[in-house]
């Protein structure tokens, strides 16, 4: 029997089984008995009525029933093949079977499989009447294909006894149904998806013993998932036990009672256990005889696992032990191999679950729909919260809902907090402190910064964060820039903050941590500080710094202070501390961060004896201590005074400093090192004005960043700097650089070192992989010291004459740039060892290959005498003494592929690279290699901007070719007719070629996934049988000359991306657009379509819809909002007058482009419901007048343009609520004042009327993306 694919979990069916049979042979006997046996087992079965079989073609009703059935039982009898109806039915069945969502089983009633397969014997006699029919070929193929499937043969099963035969069929179908149908409670929303994720770890069918861990935060659905899996697969085991609440029950009744439960459940008898060790003994002795399924729910200690599932050897092969826990370390310590996270609910799943607990029938009104969304946002995917809130709001009226939601803003949901706090209670005391610090202050910080802050406060932060992560209390994630950050679920954060607040809920000055701005302002402004406060983090503009400093005096145990101020505050440029103003930092401070610190120095009253980290970026500090006092900071490890006014600094005052960051301190002229800095590992002096830098007393440096140090003339390294990994030194005035003993150096960047004449390395840099020296005055460069170099960039080193590259010194070089090296003479590569390369195992490959590239500069290129670019001639000589590894070779060969390549020599050499996978020809090649077919392993061929006018027929013999791209081949007008022989081709791209037609053989591309035809100005038609490209996922056509597109495009069932720009779009395609059900991207830009078809709502996976410059498009379908996955909508340059209200239902929309919609008059009032919107572009909507206030709800909006909206006069007053807004364009509007709330938006860049913006306190600067324009910040 074939096993069912897990993909079937995605779909439910009307019928379990569809019976296909020849009525006159089997209807009144075998089929009747089989049908009733299936029905008696509650297997919903379709058996057609003989009366509906009229005419030659099967009905739409029957086709629908076939598509809506999970299993097919095809009963082959002697006359089955005589019926064209049965044969058409069979063709449809096999079509559905191939999708992997359905399974077909043949039953050979009174014929043999070989007779069906070969159409011989009685099957041949029955089929004879169809020989001349057009469908005969596909009928034969269907008979052959179905006969090859696994099924049942009557005469070889149960001795031909029909009753036993039917019983066996029914039992196996029942078993298959059980393995594919979950029968999950309607309230367990999203459970099928989560079970499917877990299925691979369960390893059904694998004859081993497995322990599977399910981990996640409390209330996240671990137990529910484990129970659903248990109910689903338990029938496959000889014994089973579900042990609930192991943590709680182990403490109440002991582990031996749980051992007794497992033994009694599995063995189905009462087992006595006298002690834990006795229980272990009994389990080891009695369980290996049974294949068991055991679930251990909510485990929190290794002792529990050792007592209940100590070793895999306790269990019989095939057994499965599922463990749920909040603490991943428990699973790791017990050597659990398969560990899976339980995912929280998506917004849509959460809404669905909430409604099942809240509403008896349908949602009463649209207002409840929005309130439901608010509940789901609060729940943040946590099933427990959704259930509790759903039950509590059930039957309540709208006012009660609103009040309940308001209450949640200040009073968290108790039931959720209790569940989550279990994980907190189990923590050691120091980990509890770390957890509270993150919940109250450090959530969202970069991981390294958070570790630095926690270490400053005396914690072991690295292990602490890992423990919290394993207990699902924090999550480490990567932001859009690739930086790791510390994340925490909203309810876990809420739980942590509640722990801090609950003992004194109305007395914030008694809290250990302060984070709410109104409470902080109240405490500081009224001088209410106490010893209780340890942590403060805030951002404010309300009071001046004197007020805050005064309020800190009484906080005698404050260890963490983080203040994010703004540069726009109106501080006097000469503001300093004075005796009159009590300006004092508590001496207990260990971590001090004050962005835009407004004073010129730290106060002398601040002893800083405990200070570990000091960060005052963008400050006005001129000297560290008032009056130039030399105060030693013995505990200081991290110092960041970036963008300050510091002019000099003495490292001798911080002997234990580890990281020094003085980035963009343009006034910095002197850096003194009067004592050894043995712990200093990182120095960043980017943009400083230092002329001399002596680091001789810092031997343990790991990172040195001296980017854009334009005045640096002298740099002294320690004689030995064994730990240095990265040296970035650009735009310097150095003439000579000695980098000393640096054996661990990995990257050396000397970009734009205009004065550099000499580079000296005292030792071999084995780990150096990247060497960049551009625009230098080097004449020679010795690369003997860099054997593992991968990237070498010597761009614009105009004085470079030669490189010393002895044999074997550049084994791993993959990228070379010698452009602009006008005096360069020669360069030899010798590649000897590629043992580290990963290659296709199907190729016979060995470790040795040798490639020589000789590069010679020429005064004049004989092929291009009028070309003024530097001339190089490349000759390739390749030796293949042993089979080669070519992933690195192909990268090196790219050096030789330019407009001045010696084509003849290149052609002879390249054809010897029988394992070459990628070949790109660029420049003035006039012909392609004739013997291309010798490149047996070639997978990718790219021809770019060449003078090639035809392709050799040998290209059709590249049997492994997957990608063929022809770009800017203006002389190419035909393709080989046999191109379709490239049977494994997956990607074909023709861009800017003069191709007139595609070869008819294109339909043979059975594996083609991407077809792009852009700017082929002479191409007018496409083959009609384009729909035969059954694997096609991406189709891109862009040409005004294409007069006719095949109607059959809508039959491309697997198409995900359809781009028909500047084309004529057939009406039939528009009518059937909804049939492209897998479509994710649709682009009809620059076409003449007038309407979108109503069927577009069926594109449930569509993410991007572009209709740019569709000049005849005036309206959109009213049900556009049903495109629930849409993320991008571009309607720019259309004649749209209004947007359908349903657009507000596009909950995943990120980009809405309406620029140059000159007739657009109004936006929907509820546009603010687009909570995920990041970009709203309304530029040049000349009839648009009002902006709905609801847009202030768009919490993720970062780009908003009203440029040249000449009728817009004002912005919404609450615009400041757009907390992510980064760019705002109001130039060309009638806006005459800005809402006061706009000042709440940090770092906002505005383009608009200068007088208006300057009057509101904004300062002009050059636009970061347009040097010719100004913006305001």
Cα(71)–Cα(66) distance, integer angstroms: 9
Q: Does residue 914 have a pLDDT over 70?
A: no
Q: Does residue 172 have a pLDDT over 60?
A: yes
pLDDT tens digit string along 338-357?
Answer: 999 888 888 888 888 888 88
Q: Angle at Cα 28 formed by Cα 25 and Cα 33, nearest 5°?
A: 110
Please state the rounded mean pLDDT for residues 613-621.
92
Catalytic residue, chosen from 24, 61, 67, 89, is 89
Q: Does residue 895 have a pLDDT over 70?
A: no
Fold of domain 6-180: Rossmann fold (3.40.50)
Cα(342)–Cα(349) distance, integer angstroms: 14
Every domain range in the chain assigned CATH 3.40.50.300: 191-341
Residue-level pLDDT at 175? 74
Q: Which of 11-15, 422-426, 520-524, 1192-1196 has the lowest mean pLDDT?
A: 11-15
Residue-level pLDDT at 875? 37
Residue with tokens 């070089």: 813
Q: Does residue 143 have a pLDDT over 60?
A: yes
Residue with tokens 């004194």: 504
- 519 assigned to active site: no
Q: Does residue 318 have a pLDDT over 60?
A: yes
Question: Are 493 and 441 spatial neighbours (Cβ–Cβ below 8 Å)?
Answer: no
Q: Does residue 233 have a pLDDT over 90?
A: no
- 60 Cβ partners below 8 Å, 6+ apart? none
Residue-level pLDDT at 1094? 76
Every domain range in the chain assigned CATH 3.40.50.10140: 6-180
Q: Does residue 544 have a pLDDT over 60?
A: yes
Q: Does residue 460 have a pLDDT over 70?
A: yes
Largest CA distance in the chain: 114
Looking at the DSSP bridge assignments, the partners of residue 832 are none
Q: Angle at Cα 634 formed by Cα 628 and Cα 640, nearest 5°?
A: 65
Please state the rounded mean pLDDT for residues 1078-1104.
89
Please state the rounded mean pLDDT for residues 711-721.
92
Q: What's the whole-number average pLDDT of the chain?
A: 82
Which is nearest to 1194 in space by CA: 1142, 1151, 1258, 1161?
1151
Cα(278)–Cα(260) distance, integer angstroms: 10
Token representation of residue 711:
């005045």
The confidence band for 540, taking pLDDT boundaries of 50, 70 and 90, is low
pLDDT tens digit string along 386-408?
Answer: 888 888 888 888 888 888 888 88
The confidence band for 843, taking pLDDT boundaries of 50, 70 and 90, is very low
pLDDT tens digit string along 1178-1222?
Answer: 999 999 999 999 999 998 999 999 999 999 999 999 998 898 999
More confident residue, 1027 or 638: 638
Q: Does residue 846 have a pLDDT over 60?
A: no
Question: Are 1046 and 1023 spatial neighbours (Cβ–Cβ below 8 Å)?
Answer: yes
Looking at the DSSP bridge assignments, the partners of residue 941 are 919, 964
Fold of domain 191-341: Rossmann fold (3.40.50)
The CATH number assigned to the domain with range 416-494 reads 1.10.10.10
Question: Are 660 and 684 spatial neighbours (Cβ–Cβ below 8 Å)?
Answer: yes
Q: Does residue 119 have a pLDDT over 60?
A: yes
The confidence band for 94, taking pLDDT boundaries of 50, 70 and 90, is very high
Q: Which of 236-245, 453-462, 541-550, 936-945 has the lowest mean pLDDT?
A: 541-550
| DSSP string across 242-304 | EE--HHHHHHHH-HHHHHHHHHHHHHTS-----SHHHHHHHHHHHGGGS-EEEEEEEE--HHH
Residue-level pLDDT at 1244? 86
The confidence band for 107, taking pLDDT boundaries of 50, 70 and 90, is very high
Cα(488)–Cα(758) distance, integer angstroms: 51
Cα(678)–Cα(656) distance, integer angstroms: 7
Residue-level pLDDT at 930? 67
| DSSP string across 892-916 | HHGGG-STT--HHHHHHHHTT-TT-
The confidence band for 123, taking pLDDT boundaries of 50, 70 and 90, is very high
Q: Give the gyration radius of the chain's Cα atoms.
A: 37
Q: Does residue 382 have a pLDDT over 80?
A: yes
Cα(673)–Cα(694) distance, integer angstroms: 7
Cα(977)–Cα(997) distance, integer angstroms: 10
Q: Which of 262-276, 282-296, 1046-1060 has the lowest mean pLDDT?
A: 1046-1060
Residue-level pLDDT at 811? 67
Dihedral through CA 1000, CA 1005, CA 1006, CA 1007, nearest 10? -160
Please state the rounded mean pLDDT for residues 1064-1083.
83
Write the burial class of residue 1221 (CB in 10 Å: 0-12 exposed, 13-18 middle, 19+ buried): buried
The confidence band for 793, taking pLDDT boundaries of 50, 70 and 90, is confident
Residue-level pLDDT at 1263? 56
Q: Angle at Cα 1067 formed by Cα 1066 and Cα 1072, nearest 5°?
A: 105
The confidence band for 814, taking pLDDT boundaries of 50, 70 and 90, is low
| DSSP string across 388-412 | HHHHHHTT--HHHHHHHHHHHTTS-
Phi-psi region of 827 (alpha: psi -120 to 50; beta: other; left: phi over 0): beta
Element of type H or E holding 1202:
none
Residue-level pLDDT at 49? 62
Token representation of residue 173:
């179908």
Neighbours of 1260 (CB within 10 A): 12
- CA 951 to chain centroid: 39
Q: Does residue 829 have a pLDDT over 60?
A: no
pLDDT tens digit string along 1033-1052?
Answer: 999 988 777 766 777 787 88
pLDDT tens digit string along 596-614?
Answer: 888 888 888 888 999 999 9
The confidence band for 361, taking pLDDT boundaries of 50, 70 and 90, is low
DSSP 8-class letter at 1203: T
Residue-level pLDDT at 226? 92
Which is nearest to 1088 in space by CA: 1075, 1068, 1116, 1107?
1107
Strands (E), 641-711: 648-650, 659-661, 670-672, 682-684, 692-694, 703-706
How would you label 740-777 residue by residue, b for 16+ Cβ within 10 Å and e otherwise?
Answer: bbbbbbbbbbbbbbeebeebebbeebeebbbbbbbbbe
pLDDT tens digit string along 556-583?
Answer: 999 999 988 654 343 333 344 333 334 5
Q: Does residue 925 have a pLDDT over 60?
A: no
The confidence band for 1268, taking pLDDT boundaries of 50, 70 and 90, is very low
How many CA atoms lie less than 13 Å away from 1163 in the CB half-sphere? Answer: 26
Cα(19)–Cα(73) distance, integer angstroms: 5
Question: Are 267 and 239 spatial neighbours (Cβ–Cβ below 8 Å)?
Answer: yes
- 1157 Cβ partners below 8 Å, 6+ apart? 1131, 1132, 1133, 1134, 1135, 1136, 1178, 1181
Every domain range in the chain assigned CATH 1.10.10.10: 416-494
Sign of CA dihedral 775, 776, 781, 785: negative
In the chain, % of residues over pLDDT 70: 84
More confident residue, 539 or 1230: 1230
Q: Angle at Cα 1163 formed by Cα 1162 and Cα 1168, nearest 5°?
A: 160
Which is nearest to 1142 in space by CA: 375, 380, 378, 369?
369
pLDDT tens digit string along 1212-1260?
Answer: 999 988 989 999 999 999 998 889 888 888 778 898 888 888 777 777 7
- CA 311 to chain centroid: 37
The confidence band for 634, taking pLDDT boundaries of 50, 70 and 90, is very high
Question: Are 860 and 835 spatial neighbours (Cβ–Cβ below 8 Å)?
Answer: no
Residue-level pLDDT at 887? 35
């Amino acid at each position: 029997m074939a096993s069912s694919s897990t993909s079937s979990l995605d779909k439910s069916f009307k019928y379990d089984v569809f019976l296909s049979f020849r009525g006159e042979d089997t209807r009144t006997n075998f089929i009747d008995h089989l049908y009733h046996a299936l029905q008696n087992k509650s297997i919903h079965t379709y058996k057609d009525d003989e009366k509906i079989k009229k005419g030659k073609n099967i009905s739409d009703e029957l086709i629908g029933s076939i598509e809506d059935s999970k299993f097919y039982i095809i009963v082959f009898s002697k006359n089955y093949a005589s019926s064209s109806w049965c044969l058409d039915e069979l063709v449809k069945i096999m079509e559905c079977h191939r999708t992997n969502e359905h399974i077909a089983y043949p039953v050979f009633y009174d014929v043999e499989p070989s007779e069906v397969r070969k159409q011989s014997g009685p099957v041949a006699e029955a089929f004879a009447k169809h020989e001349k029919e057009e469908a005969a070929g596909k009928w034969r193929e269907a008979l052959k294909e179905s006969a090859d499937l696994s099924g049942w043969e009557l005469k070889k099963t149960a001795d031909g006894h029909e009753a036993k035969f039917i019983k066996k069929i029914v039992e196996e179908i029942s078993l298959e149904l059980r393995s594919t149908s979950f029968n999950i409670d309607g309230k367990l929303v999203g459970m099928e998806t989560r079970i499917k994720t877990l299925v691979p770890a369960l390893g059904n069918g694998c004859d081993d013993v497995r322990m599977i861990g399910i981990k996640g935060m409390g209330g996240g659905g671990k137990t529910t998932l484990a129970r659903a899996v248990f109910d689903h697969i338990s029938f496959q085991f000889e014994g089973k036990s579900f042990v609930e609440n192991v943590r709680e029950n182990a403490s109440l009744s002991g582990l031996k009672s749980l051992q007794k439960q497992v033994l009694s459940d599995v063995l189905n008898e009462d087992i006595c256990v006298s002690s834990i060790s006795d229980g272990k003994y009994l389990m080891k002795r009695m369980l290996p005889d049974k294949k068991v399924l055991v679930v251990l729910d909510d485990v929190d200690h290794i002792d529990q696992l050792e007592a209940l599932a100590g070793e895999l050897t306790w269990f019989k092969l095939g057994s499965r032990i599922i463990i749920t826990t909040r603490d991943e370390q428990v699973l790791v310590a017990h050597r659990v191999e398969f560990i899976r996270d339980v995912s929280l609910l998506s917004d849509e799943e959460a809404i669905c679950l909430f409604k099942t607990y809240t509403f008896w029938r349908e949602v009463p009104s649209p207002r409840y729909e929005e309130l439901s969304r608010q509940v789901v946002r609060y729940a943040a995917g946590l099933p427990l919260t959704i259930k509790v809130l759903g039950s509590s709001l059930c039957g309540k009226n709208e006012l009660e809902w609103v009040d309940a939601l308001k209450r949640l803003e200040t009073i968290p949901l108790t039931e959720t907090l209790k569940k989550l706090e279990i994980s907190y209670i189990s923590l050691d005391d120091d980990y509890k402190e770390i957890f509270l610090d993150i919940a109250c202050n450090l959530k969202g910080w970069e991981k390294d910064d958070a570790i630095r802050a926690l270490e400053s406060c005396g914690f072991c932060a690295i292990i602490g964060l890992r423990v919290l992560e394993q207990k699902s209390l924090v999550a480490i994630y990567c932001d859009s820039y690739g930086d790791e950050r510390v994340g925490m679920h909203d309810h876990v954060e809420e739980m942590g903050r509640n722990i801090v607040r609950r003992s004194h809920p109305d007395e914030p000055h008694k809290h250990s941590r302060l984070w709410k701005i109104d409470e902080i302002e109240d405490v500081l402004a009224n001088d209410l500080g106490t010893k209780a406060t340890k942590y403060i983090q805030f951002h404010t503009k309300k009071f001046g710094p004197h007020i805050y400093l005064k309020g800190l005096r009484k906080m005698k145990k404050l260890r963490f202070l983080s203040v994010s101020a703004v540069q726009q505050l109106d501080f006097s440029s000469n503001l300093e501390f004075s005796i009159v103003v009590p300006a004092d930092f508590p001496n207990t401070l260990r971590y001090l961060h004050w962005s835009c610190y407004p004073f010129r120095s730290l106060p002398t009253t601040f002893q800083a004896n405990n200070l570990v980290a000091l960060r005052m970026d963008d400050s006005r500090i001129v000297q560290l201590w008032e009056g130039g006092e030399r105060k030693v900071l013995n505990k200081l490890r991290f110092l960041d005074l970036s963008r300050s006014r510091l002019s000099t600094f003495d490292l001798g005052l911080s002997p234990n400093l580890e990281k020094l960051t003085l980035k963009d301190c343009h006034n910095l002229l002197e850096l003194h090192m009067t004592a050894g800095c043995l712990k200093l590992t990182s120095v960043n002096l980017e943009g400083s004005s230092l002329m001399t830098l002596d680091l001789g007393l810092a031997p343990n440096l790991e990172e040195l960043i001296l980017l854009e140090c334009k005045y640096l003339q002298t740099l002294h390294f320690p004689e030995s700097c064994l730990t240095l990994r990265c040296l970035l030194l650009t735009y310097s005035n150095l003439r000579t650089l000695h980098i000393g003993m640096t054996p661990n150096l990995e990257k050396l960047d000397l970009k734009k070192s205009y004065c550099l004449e000499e580079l000296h390395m005292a030792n071999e840099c084995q780990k150096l992989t990247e060497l960049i020296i551009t625009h230098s005055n080097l004449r020679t460069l010795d690369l003997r010291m860099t054997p593992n170099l991968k990237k070498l960039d010597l761009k614009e080193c105009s004085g470079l004459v030669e490189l010393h590259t002895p044999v074997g010194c550049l084994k791993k070089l993959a990228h070379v740039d010698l452009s602009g090296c006008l005096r360069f003479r020669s360069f030899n590569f010798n590649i000897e060892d590629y043992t580290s390369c990963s290659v296709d195992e199907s190729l016979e490959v060995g470790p040795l290959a040798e490639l020589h590239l000789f590069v010679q500069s020429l005064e004049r290129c004989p092929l291009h005498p009028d070309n003024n670019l530097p001339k190089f001639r490349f000759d390739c000589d390749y030796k293949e003494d042993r089979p080669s590894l070519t992933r690195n070779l192909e990268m090196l060969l790219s050096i030789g592929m330019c407009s001045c390549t010696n084509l003849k020599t290149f052609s002879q050499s390249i054809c010897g690279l029988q394992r070459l996978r990628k070949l790109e020809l660029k420049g003035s090649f006039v012909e392609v290699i004739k013997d291309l077919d010798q490149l047996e392993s070639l997978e990718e061929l790219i021809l770019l901007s060449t003078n090639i006018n035809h392709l050799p027929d040998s290209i059709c013999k590249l049997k492994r070719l997957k990608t063929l791209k022809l770009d800017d081949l203006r002389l190419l007008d035909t393709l080989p007719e046999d191109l379709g022989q490239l049977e494994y081709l997956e990607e074909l791209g023709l861009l800017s070629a003069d191709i007139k037609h595609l070869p008819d053989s294109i339909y043979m591309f059975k594996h083609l996934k991407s077809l792009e035809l852009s700017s082929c100005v002479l191409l007018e038609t496409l083959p009609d049988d384009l729909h035969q490209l059954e694997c096609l996922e991406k189709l891109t056509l862009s040409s005004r000359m294409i007069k006719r597109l095949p109607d059959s495009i809508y039959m491309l069932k697997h198409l995900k991306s359809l781009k028909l720009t500047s084309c004529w779009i057939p009406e039939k395609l528009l009518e059937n657009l909804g049939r492209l059900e897998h479509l994710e991207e649709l682009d009809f830009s620059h076409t003449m379509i007038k309407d979108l078809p109503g069927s577009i709502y069926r594109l449930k996976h569509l993410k991007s819809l572009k209709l740019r410059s569709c000049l005849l498009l005036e309206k959109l379908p009213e049900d556009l909002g049903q495109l629930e996955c849409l993320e991008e909508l571009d309607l720019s340059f259309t004649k749209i007058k209004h947007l359908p209200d349903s657009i507000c239902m596009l909950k995943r929309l990120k980009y809405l482009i309406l620029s140059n919609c000159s007739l657009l008059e109004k936006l929907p009032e509820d546009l603010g419901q687009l909570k995920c919107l990041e970009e709203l572009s309304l530029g040049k909507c000349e009839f648009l007048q009002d902006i709905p206030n609801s847009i202030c709800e768009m919490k993720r909006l970062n780009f908003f343009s009203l440029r040249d909206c000449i009728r817009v006069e004002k912005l919404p007053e609450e615009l400041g609520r757009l907390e992510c807004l980064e760019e705002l364009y109001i130039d060309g509007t009638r806006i005459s004042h800005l809402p006061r709330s706009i000042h709440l938006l940090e770092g906002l860049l505005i383009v608009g009327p200068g007088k208006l913006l300057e009057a509101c306190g904004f300062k002009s600067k050059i636009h970061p993306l347009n040097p010719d324009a100004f913006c305001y910040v």
